Amino acid sequence: MDTTEFLFLDNKHGAHNYQPLDVVLVRGEGVWVYDVEGRKYLDGLSAYSALNHGHCHPRLVQALTEQAQRLTLTSRAFHTDQYSLLLQRLTSLTGYDAALVMNSGVEAVETALKLARKWAYTVKGVALNQAEIIVANNNFHGRTITAISFSTEQLYRKYFGPHTPGFIAVPYGDSKALEAAITPRTAAILLEPIQGEAGVIMPPEGYLREVRELCTQNNVLLLLDEIQTGLGRTGRLFAHQYEQIRPDVSIIGKALGGGMYPISAILADRALMDVFQPGEHGSTFGGNPLGSAVAIEALNVLEDEQLCEKADQLGRSALAYLQANKTPLVKEVRGKGLLIGIELLPEAGGARRFCEKLKERGVLCKETHESVIRFAPPLIIDKATLDWALGVIVDVLREG
């Protein structure tokens, strides 16, 4: 079967909830993917940062295969060796006392929200069912009913009400607006250190420090969604480390599974995590031994191959190159590490057509919010390959 036949099957039998580029991938290795006709492409999206380690990393394949031959799933009704070892690895690496492991990113977000609400009622003393959580405009924390309830993107929420109450949205990057929204009912503030889905939006320098101070002063929890930005993507283990702060809850996912297996987690200290009691939260697959084994090795590779340091060095070089070679159609180039957004001017006619042209030149990227090209290759990329890809991007933008 060729690309046309596969696209026909997708269109005929699949839900039309995505609009992917017309490429059908069948194999991946490192930073490269191959389509059904054998054409080779650089993966410039990394499954929205889930593939920080690249495709089919040999150590992760080995960890997955070996564990799959021993024990893949048992409920949390029983302990498993791999889950215990993952908890130890996560806490030793991040400095938090405890972790609670789930599957998808949005599950981890929901877990953090439940923790914050129960803390508000049982510790802070907020009246039952009155807790509020402050979020930022243009946020993206997933697509469950609760997550879209506090989204400000109409496409995500318009036809899916009634919405979950208890959320207040304020402008991103505006600490004064955030401060004004805090009341005695405020349980937590939930933010992305960098808004990825919104177009790689960077907050003003010092913003996260100001938010941390406001949370401390007002007895409010700070929840940071590091699902896309965490585990090396921005050149640090967590993006919030650029501002030398520590949130009460760090939310991670995507790259935690090394591009092999869906796994996510929230990280918190003991006193806060112990707000949860047996039976109040859980998941059949959360913390399963197969996912745990893969996550342990993903964290080992992250350290052993110095992926944070690579993302920092290569990201600085990439940003400098793109900013120095900004074409007339480019409004702004921004990002941290290897999470880069190229925002186009309205006269460019949208980012989609440029992503289609890049595909024809062997680089796979994806538009976000219509006018931004998001470029986020695997962190294992070498400089020569990165330089080639950047050259292709600049050429395509120059051609218009």
CATH number, domain with residue 374: 3.90.1150.10
Q: Of the residues 255, 288, 304, which one is the last residue of a structural domain?
A: 304
* Same-domain status, 30 and 47: yes
Is 276 known to be catalytic?
A: no
Instruction: Considering the candidates 118, 238, 254, 359, report the single residue annotated as catalytic.
Output: 254
What's the pLDDT score for residue 118? 98
What's the pLDDT score for residue 346? 97
Is 118 known to be catalytic?
A: no
* pLDDT surpassing 90 at residue 400: no
**Rounded average pLDDT over 52-71:** 98
* Same-domain status, 12 and 151: no
* pLDDT surpassing 90 at residue 156: yes
Q: Which residues pair with 336 in a beta bridge?
A: 339
* pLDDT surpassing 90 at residue 266: yes
What's the pLDDT score for residue 228? 98
**Rounded average pLDDT over 66-94:** 96
Instruction: Considering the candidates 140, 167, 238, 375, report the single residue annotated as catalytic.
Output: 140
Please report which confidence band the pLDDT of residue 169 belongs to, taking 50, 70 and 90 as the band edges.
very high
Please report which confidence band the pLDDT of residue 202 belongs to, taking 50, 70 and 90 as the band edges.
very high
CATH number, domain with residue 248: 3.40.640.10
**Rounded average pLDDT over 296-308:** 98
Q: Of the residues 252, 286, 304, which one is the last residue of a structural domain?
A: 304
| Chain centre to alpha carbon of residue 117 | 23
Alpha carbon distance 111, 368 (integer Å) = 27
Percent of the chain topping pLDDT 90: 98
* pLDDT surpassing 90 at residue 76: no
* pLDDT surpassing 90 at residue 323: yes
Q: Which residues pair with 251 in a beta bridge?
A: 225, 266
What's the pLDDT score for residue 180? 98
Residue numbers of the domain that contains 394: 3-57+306-399
Is 254 known to be catalytic?
A: yes
What's the pLDDT score for residue 75? 83
Dump the DSSP string for 276-307: --TTSS--SSTT-HHHHHHHHHHHHHHHHTTH
* Same-domain status, 15 and 79: no
Per the model's pLDDT, the better-predicted residue between 400 and 351 turns out to be 351
Looking at the structure of the chain, the number of domains it has is 2
* Same-domain status, 93 and 148: yes
* Same-domain status, 190 and 313: no
**Rounded average pLDDT over 222-237:** 98
* pLDDT surpassing 90 at residue 248: yes
Alpha carbon distance 13, 10 (integer Å) = 6
* Same-domain status, 294 and 336: no
**Rounded average pLDDT over 320-349:** 97
* Same-domain status, 122 and 207: yes
* Same-domain status, 144 and 80: yes
